Chain A
Amino acid sequence: MKLETKPKLEVNLAGIKMKNPVTVASGTFGLQHGQFFDLSVLGAIVPKGITLEPKEGNPTPRIIETASGMLNAIGLQNPGLEGFIDTLPAYEKLNTPIIVNISAGSAEDYAKLAEKLTKTGKIHGIEINVSCPNVKKGGFQFGSDPKETENIVKTVRKATNLPIITKLTPNVTDITEIAKAAESAGSDAISLINTLLGTSINTKTKKFNLANVTGGLSGPAVKPIALRMVWQCYNAVKIPILGMGGVANVTDVIEFMLAGATAVAVGTYNFVNPKVCEEIILGLSDYLIENKIDDINNLIGKVEKV
């Protein structure tokens, strides 16, 4: 009989060595969460997305709750590249890979960000955000066009030797077309899904609930869509997938991995339970032991038809 050994949780996301497949979605998590649990348990950390220059963000109100989800239209408020670099030492101390999510209005600016971040020598991967639904320039207008996506990824590819993860928007007719474009342009991985474009109306005031009119839908409500898209992309490209969209517990993580994700990010649920990532990581081992799986990698893409 085989000895009881600790199951293997380590995954390799396009060269980013993660001690477990659990990370966080940009914009939903920060060093502040270290007040609730030891952040070094994370498989990787993804700070809030940055732009070259500081960005003020959208007018308020920026968020509204929806059934099992929420809409946000933050508009990428961030302290800019330099402001972010000042915070890097604090991220470094966590002893877990740092994946930085970048946004820009042109391919050149994406490349500049990638180049400068690479030069810090402190980060482990770059997530190209071509899918933000809440900014006029550089959002999913890029990510919904395969040619634009290809152009940006190619330009960033020349600027860095770090693993590139292209973050895809679900607000397209066929996400696999964009996934293929990212792959052929040299992206090392893809992450999906960003939020789904939606809106909400206050029936008392007869006004939209968001100052930006539309926002990005996230939370458990979007999970089935995200899962379907991860499965579609898994069958369309060879590069690994960082899956996300409504992840709230161990079962969700397993589902995403079965659908083809190598790693999984928790987003909105960090707001609901600020310790959820730690709880999921602990729960993953239990799941693997109970199901007699010695390596979590054996789950990737292993879903079967009924």
Chain B
Amino acid sequence: MLTIENAKIVTNQELTRDYFVMTLNCPKISALARPGQFVNIHVLENTDPLLRRPISIYDIDKSKGTIKILYFIKGKGTNILKNKKEEEILSVTGPHGNGFVVHPDSKNILLVGGGFGTAPLAFLAKEIKEKNIFTAIGGRTKDLIFCEKDFKDSGAKVFISTEDGSYGEKGLVTENIIKILNQNKIDEIFTVGPSLMMKAIAEIAKKRNIPCHVSLEERMACGVGACYGCVCKTKKGYETVCTQGPVFDSGELEW
């Protein structure tokens, strides 16, 4: 069920260069949101930029009626968003999308996040604390490793790699994944990040016969499954990322 709210900005802070965390007061969305879902934000009461910006939900606080998002300054829309001040109002719709579904029988879960793709996974980790969680985080440099503390707070074992070796292991996140998989019996993998990274994870998962769920990002228009603008190719044909996704079983995708 979707809802539309005029959300008051509680905080909007720069985390590191070009990456921001915003807290929004939207009690209806906060009450309904599950990990892996996203909100669609209208950044300006104007027509340029015209469309809403889909952004993953990073955290919720139902008691306060708030949600948190972690966003990256990518273009016109997010550039406006970063200059928004506390107390300003944004029109927000959500929660959109299917979200992550963890199989009840799965005990050992591997979360793989690239860059700020860790945000929705941190929300997932918080919701599945009773499981045995392994988290692999990858980024180009130390300052692009996000949500480490969130995962640790949820009791996850965290493995970090950076491309330049400035933090954790030097190299790609996939190298850490192979180590984790060699030493542990993983029941399910959830991954969010650049598509090349997710494809590599999906390939590894396929070889080892482990169910792998990926969260896709696409340009969106309606956000409700009506316009077919954001589709991705699956074995069943083109499916909408906004409603049939954004989370797909990697084996279902033709990418």
Contact = CB atoms under 8 A, between A and B. Distances in A.
B227 A74 contact: yes
Contacts of A60: 218, 231-233, 238
Interface stretch (B45-53, B82-90, B122-130): B45-53
A199 B218 CA distance: 19
Contact of B93 (A48, A61, A274): A274
B228 A33 contact: no
Given A35-B2, A62-B231, A72 B224 contact: no
B231 A271 contact: no
A68 B48 contact: yes
Given A56-B238, A57-B231, A70-B50, A271 B225 contact: no
Nearest to B222: A271
A220 interface: yes
A286 B60 CA distance: 39
A238 to B, nearest CB: 34
A272 B42 contact: yes
Contacts of B225: 30, 32
B223 interface: yes
A68 B50 contact: yes
Interface string A266-286: 001011111100000000000
Query: Which of A36, A56, A65, A74 lies at the interface centre, i.e. has the most chain B CB atoms within 10 A of its CB?
Result: A65
Interface in B74-105: 91, 93
Contacts of B3: 35-36
A225 to B, nearest CB: 15
Interface string B184-228: 000000000000000000000000000000000011111111111
B47 A220 contact: yes
B243 interface: yes
Given A56-B237, A68-B48, A63 B221 contact: yes
Contacts, number: 106
Given A62-B230, A72-B221, 15 more contacts: A27-B228, A30-B225, A32-B225, A56-B238, A57-B231, A63-B220, A65-B219, A72-B227, A74-B228, A74-B229, A268-B221, A270-B222, A271-B222, A272-B47, A275-B4
25 contacts: A27-B228, A32-B222, A36-B3, A36-B93, A48-B228, A57-B228, A60-B238, A62-B228, A62-B229, A63-B220, A63-B221, A64-B219, A65-B49, A65-B51, A65-B219, A67-B48, A68-B50, A74-B228, A74-B229, A77-B231, A248-B47, A271-B52, A271-B221, A271-B222, A272-B51
Query: Which of A48, A62, A221 lies at the interface centre, i.e. has the most chain B CB atoms within 10 A of its CB?
Result: A62
B31 to A, nearest CB: 15
Given A60-B232, A74-B229, A271 B51 contact: yes
A40 interface: no
Main secondary structure of the interface of B (DSSP, over half): loop
Given A60-B218, A65-B51, A274-B4, A32 B243 contact: yes
Contacts of B219: 61, 63-65
Interface string A64-105: 110111101010010000000000000000000000000000
A143 interface: no
Interface of A: 27-30, 32-33, 35-36, 48, 56-57, 60-65, 67-70, 72, 74, 77, 219-221, 248, 268, 270-275
Interface residues of B, number: 32
A180 B49 CA distance: 37
A272 B93 CA distance: 10
Nearest to A61: B219
| Those 4 A-B pairs whose CB atoms lie nearest each other, nearest first | A30-B226, A63-B229, A32-B224, A68-B47
Contacts of A275: 4
B47 A27 contact: no
Nearest to A28: B227
Contact of B224 (A30, A56, A63): A30
